[in-house]
């Protein structure tokens, strides 16, 4: 119902416009001759459409689409934020610095970067080289020993933030001693594009994979130390047993009085001499058998003495053909050995042969 301002008390209706309350659908029908019919015709276009349910449905649908368009990017952003890019890895290891350094050197020189790949069919990136410095990271000034493993011309390596070009992948290892039996190891990885020189930090996968490789090397070194100690202990115990047996035999021979005998003819002494010679030969044969069990020689053309039972482990020395070694530890594929100069290491079983 249209009300006109200016009427008595401002609340009375125009008599001629009372019929404006009649509607034809969403449109009011004005009364002919009403001076406010023009207003009556305009009023429904501004107010009455809001009462149409179809319009409200379209508005609600538009608001829903708008809300989703704002919500989806925020969810994606939260998912990206969960990856800690550039955080690196820092771990306190219960191993002395010398052992951790040895394991890190082995991994830095193995030519493999784990935790990333260039193609989906690959398990890791190959062709990396160990270097003493790199421009991918600022100069390290906090002490300790620093090692680098670098792969140039890497194509879109996985697990680096917003990577997608050709560049250099660099892994940095920092070894810092802590107390006497502990060592702090820090690992960081970064990918730097070749042309734009943009640095892309790792999401942590490379660091954790490289650490696992280092930890496996440390466990192998610890096992070698334990087995070497046990073998040395067994050798000492065997030597002590042999000494006791020899001492007991010597004591028995001295304590038993020998009866006086008439010298026998030389012909009668011959069997005793043969028996003595036979026992000496038996002892020598036994020693030869023992030697064959624990001694080997290096086959042609020579063999590398490895720091751990891995082909990718660092080489401690190159042993020439015919070099004699002592077996300390025996595994299905490797021998833990000791050289004549006291150096310990590992050699593949198929590169050794029995002593001739």
d(CA 217, CA 76): 39
d(CA 77, CA 73): 6
Handedness of CA 254, 257, 258, 260 (dihedral sign): positive
- pLDDT of the residue at 254: 61
Contact 3, 15 (CB under 8 A): no
Name residue, tokens 């042609």. 300
pLDDT along the chain (356 residues), means of 10: 45 47 46 48 50 70 69 46 78 93 91 92 92 94 95 94 90 93 95 92 95 90 78 80 80 62 50 55 69 84 86 83 88 85 87 88
pTM for the whole structure: 0.54
- pLDDT of the residue at 293: 76
d(CA 177, CA 97): 5
Asked whether this chain's domains 89-220 and 285-356 adopt the same fold, the reply is no
- pLDDT of the residue at 229: 77
- Domain extent listing, the chain: 8-79, 89-220, 285-356
The dotted CATH code for 285-356 is 2.30.30.40
Collect all residues with Cβ–Cβ distance below 8 Å to 195 and sequence separation of at least 6. 165, 166
- pLDDT of the residue at 260: 53
Give the angle 76-82-84 at the CA atoms, nearest 5°: 130
The token pair at 19 is: 């019929």
- pLDDT of the residue at 277: 55
CATH class (in words) of the domain with range 89-220: alpha beta
């Amino acid at each position: 119902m249209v009300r006109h301002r200016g009427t008595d008390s401002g609340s009375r209706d125009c008599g001629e416009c009372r019929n404006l309350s009649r509607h034809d659908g969403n449109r009011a029908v004005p009364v002919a001759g009403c001076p406010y019919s023009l207003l009556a015709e305009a009023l429904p276009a501004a107010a009455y459409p809001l009462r149409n349910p179809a319009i409200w449905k379209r508005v609600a649908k538009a608001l829903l689409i708008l809300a989703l368009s704002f919500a989806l990017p925020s969810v994606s952003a939260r998912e990206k934020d969960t990856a800690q890019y550039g955080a690196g890895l820092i771990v306190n290891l219960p191993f002395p610095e010398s052992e951790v350094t040895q394991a890190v050197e082995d991994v830095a020189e193995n030519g493999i970067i784990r935790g990333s790949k260039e193609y989906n069919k690959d398990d890791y990136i190959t062709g990396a080289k160990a270097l003493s410095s790199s421009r991918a990271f600022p100069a390290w000034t906090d002490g300790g020993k620093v090692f680098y493993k670098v792969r140039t011309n890497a194509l879109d390596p996985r697990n680096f933030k917003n990577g997608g070009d050709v560049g250099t992948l660099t892994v940095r290892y920092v070894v810092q001693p802590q107390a006497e039996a502990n060592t702090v190891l820090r690992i960081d990885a970064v990918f730097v594009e070749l042309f734009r020189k943009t640095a892309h930090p790792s999401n942590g996968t490379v660091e954790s994979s490289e650490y696992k490789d280092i930890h496996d090397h440390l466990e192998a070194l610890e096992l070698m130390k334990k087995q070497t100690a046990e073998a040395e202990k067994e050798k000492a115990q065997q030597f002590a047993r042999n000494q006791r047996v020899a001492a007991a035999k010597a004591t028995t021979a001295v304590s038993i009085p020998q009866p006086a005998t008439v010298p026998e003819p030389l012909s009668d002494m011959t069997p005793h001499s043969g028996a003595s010679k036979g026992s000496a030969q038996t002892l020598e044969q036994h020693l030869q058998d023992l030697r064959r069990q624990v001694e080997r020689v290096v086959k042609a053309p020579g063999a590398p003495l490895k720091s751990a039972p891995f082909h990718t482990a660092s080489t401690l020395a190159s042993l020439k053909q015919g070099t004699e070694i002592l077996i300390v530890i025996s595994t299905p594929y490797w021998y833990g050995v000791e050289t004549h100069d006291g150096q310990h290491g590992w050699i593949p079983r198929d590169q050794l042969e029995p002593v001739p």
